[in-house]
Amino acid sequence: MIPFKTTFKWFGKNDHKKASIFCTSLIVLSMGYSANLTAGSLEQAKRLHDRLAGVPPSEQIILDMAQLIDDNKPIEAAYMAMSSPAFYSSTLKLFATPWTNIDQDSFEPLNDYSATVIGMVRDDVDFRQILQADTVYVGDDTLNLPAYNTNNNAHYQALEDGFIDLQQHLVATSQSSVSNVPADATAGVLTTRAAAKAFFYLGTNRAMLRFTLMNHLCTDLEPLKDNSLPTDRIRQDVSRSPGGDSRLFINNCSACHTGMDPLAQAFAYYNYEFDLDNDPQGESGAVVYNRAGQIDPETGTRVQAKYHINSTTFPYGFATPDDEWQNYWRSGINQHLGWSDSLPGKGYGAKSLGQELANSEAFAQCQVKKVFKAVCLRDAESNADLAQISASTDSFKQNGFQLKRTFAEVGNYCMGE
């Protein structure tokens, strides 16, 4: 037998790839595995595991995955990789966390928003529920954790600090049972504490709509500009002649606000309340919701005062009376987002708005695009990439909107790179 050290002289100075395949092949032969395990399938299995779990696999896992690949069962191989706890605590955590904050920082602590995404992917929940369900994921009762609290993130910080296995210890509960939001006003991650802290913080609640579009339909407001729509629902705080030039409103401001304001009205009863003087960052704040009979003293209705802010800017503008939203983007150029014909395109509150957004073609395609970038470590570039995005979007819809399967499919597409 040729000495192991001498064997490496066969490879060039920088030929690490061949050396790695050779070493893996030696492991296979030494363990008596089937000779049909090729270096290609071993390398693909290793890459698939790396992309999905982000940690080195055990020898047994890599061999089993390679055998599945050779047996033409690549989806099963991907699910084996996703059985690693790291898929949940690392891959999915980094995948979901940017959606929870305005800076789109991947390294923010675990919170009720990101934990709920992780739990829904793990449980193969119809991912459209992420924008409409009365659900939040918390650590289970076997853990010695601070209880879920509407005024802090201690529960989730403890989960992260304790390196808790999220695959094993996240459980679903009703959001309405642990928060200040009633069941019919919950809207999945949109009404979590983390989302409220980021997007209901001060302002006019338009941020919640904008970042929901960015995070879940993969578009910002700029590409959705359409100045051909009615301006009747644009609020009073928008000047009709900014800087004394009405052309700016007609050609720029109205193009966004005609569609945005009627949709953001869905959040009219929500706010994030905190002590601005003593806690300016809102670390101890909580999401609040004006239930029936709760009247805001400034508006005289259930509508939060922020919806009537700067009302003297244009007093003849729209004064928000309730939370009835309407999707003006069902007409005009933004029909391309693929709105569902089975829905009316209008309603009351965040839950029905979440349903409208989650049933769009743009929502389905966006999830696949985000998975592609997370797993392939790049945006789609070639015609083959775009074809894969299209195929996986169709599969996503046909397989109950299960995002874990999308990870498996995209992982298989990229493992040969």
Task: Identify the residue whose tokens are 């992982």.
Answer: 411
Neighbours of 192 (CB within 10 A): 27
> Quick one: DSSP state of residue 88?
I
Contact between 119 and 172 (Cβ < 8 Å): yes
Contact between 347 and 242 (Cβ < 8 Å): no
Q: At residue 181, what is the residue type? A: V
Q: 3-state SS of the chain: helix, strand, coil percent to 5?
A: 55, 5, 40
Pair (94, 77) in one structural domain:
no
Pair (235, 315) in one structural domain:
yes
d(CA 117, CA 98): 12
Contact between 377 and 48 (Cβ < 8 Å): no
- 212 in a domain, yes or no? yes
Pair (280, 339) in one structural domain:
yes
Last residue of a domain, one of 68, 83, 98: 83
List, in sequence order, every beta strand (DSSP E) within 20-178.
136-139, 170-173
Cα 14 to chain centroid distance, Å, stands at 40
Pair (340, 403) in one structural domain:
no
- 268 in a domain, yes or no? yes
- 196 in a domain, yes or no? no
Contact between 272 and 285 (Cβ < 8 Å): yes
Q: What is the DSSP string of 36-75?
A: T--HHHHHHHHHHHHHHH-SPPPHHHHHHHHHHHHTT-HH
Domain that holds residue 209: 201-354
Closest CA to 53 of 109, 17, 94: 94
Q: At residue 56, what is the residue type? A: P
Pair (69, 140) in one structural domain:
no
What is the token pair recorded at 397?
A: 């819809």
Per-residue pLDDT of the chain (417 residues; tens, 9 = 90+): 334 333 333 344 444 444 444 444 444 433 434 434 565 999 999 999 999 999 999 999 999 999 999 999 999 999 999 999 999 999 999 999 999 999 999 999 999 999 999 999 999 999 999 999 999 999 999 999 999 999 999 999 999 999 999 999 999 999 999 999 999 999 999 999 999 999 999 999 999 999 999 999 999 999 999 999 999 999 999 999 998 988 899 888 999 999 999 999 999 999 999 999 999 999 999 999 999 999 999 999 999 999 999 999 999 999 999 999 999 999 999 999 999 999 999 999 999 999 999 999 999 999 999 999 999 999 999 999 999 999 999 999 999 999 999 999 999 999 977
When divided into structural domains, the chain yields a total of 4
